């Protein structure tokens, strides 16, 4: 009885995440090209992965596996099929593989999304979108991390082309980064949702 309940909960989770990508042109592609012998669970899993990655671009392998309640081998198999089929692509981010819908994002956007998926860099970028030029010590206080942590990530973000440190900290291509935060705010958390709510006041028209 317990195993049956777990299986039903898993199916419900997969279908719920598949629905997240229902409005995407990629919806339903997860099972395309599958063998006729594929089970409903296989189709559900692939569609769920497509929906999840569509709504949570830049998610890494473990995050996809855990949020969808899939096994490691199962996740590897389905992601491999989706990448081989040209539905998804991935980029390397240190030890992580981050997954994206194919042909959706530039290299800069993939890099930005990768850092936005990490708590402290995301916090830094959001604070600097709100208040360009915020000092490292102020960022450390607001994010409740050490000054050394901020400095380390600032160096990484600079090397990745996301942050300028010439005079003061400033986000590179802030309109693009802000658009990504707003578009996927729900997948980033409360601070991104709050920024999205204030986005109109942060965009300036300067002809």
* 6 has a pLDDT exceeding 90: no
Mean pLDDT of the chain: 85
- Check: CATH 1.10.1060 for 108-202? no
What is the C-alpha separation between 83 and 87, in angstroms, rounded? 6
User: Do 108-202 and 2-104 fall under one CATH topology?
Assistant: yes
Name the residue ranges covered by the structural domains of the chain.
2-104, 108-202
Q: Which of 113-117, 134-138, 200-204 has the lowest mean pLDDT?
A: 200-204
Q: Residue 162 pairs with which residues in a beta bridge? A: none
Q: Specify the higher pLDDT residue, 15 or 153.
A: 153
> E strand or H helix at 6, and its extent?
helix 2-20
Q: Say which CATH architecture domain 2-104 belongs to.
A: Orthogonal Bundle (1.10)
Looking at the chain, how many residues does it have?
A: 207
The answer to whether the beta carbons of residues 67 and 52 sit under 8 Å apart is yes
Q: Specify the higher pLDDT residue, 100 or 31.
A: 100
Burial 110-146 (b: 16+ CB within 10 A, else e): bbbbbbbbbebbbbbbbbbbbeeebebeebbebbebe
- Please tell me whether the overall predicted TM-score, pTM, comes out greater than 0.75 for this model: yes
């Amino acid at each position: 009885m317990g195993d049956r309940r777990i299986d039903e909960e898993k199916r419900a989770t997969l279908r719920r995440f598949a629905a997240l990508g229902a409005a995407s042109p990629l919806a339903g592609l997860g099972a395309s090209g599958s063998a006729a012998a594929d089970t409903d669970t296989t189709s559900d899993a692939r569609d769920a992965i497509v929906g999840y990655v569509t709504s949570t671009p830049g998610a890494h392998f473990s995050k996809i596996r855990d949020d969808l309640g899939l096994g490691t081998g199962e996740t590897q198999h389905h992601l491999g099929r989706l990448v081989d089929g040209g539905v998804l692509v991935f980029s390397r981010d240190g030890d992580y593989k981050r997954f994206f819908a194919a042909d959706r994002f530039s290299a800069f956007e993939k890099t930005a999304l990768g850092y936005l998926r990490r708590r402290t860099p995301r916090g830094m970028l959001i604070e600097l979108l709100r208040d360009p030029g915020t000092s490292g010590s102020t960022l450390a206080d607001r994010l409740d991390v050490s000054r050394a942590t901020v400095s380390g990530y600032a160096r990484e973000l600079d090397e990745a082309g996301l942050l300028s440190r010439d005079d003061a900290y400033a986000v590179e291509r802030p309109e693009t980064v802000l658009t990504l935060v707003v578009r996927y705010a729900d997948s980033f958390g409360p601070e991104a949702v709050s920024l999205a709510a204030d986005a109109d006041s942060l965009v300036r028209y300067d002809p």
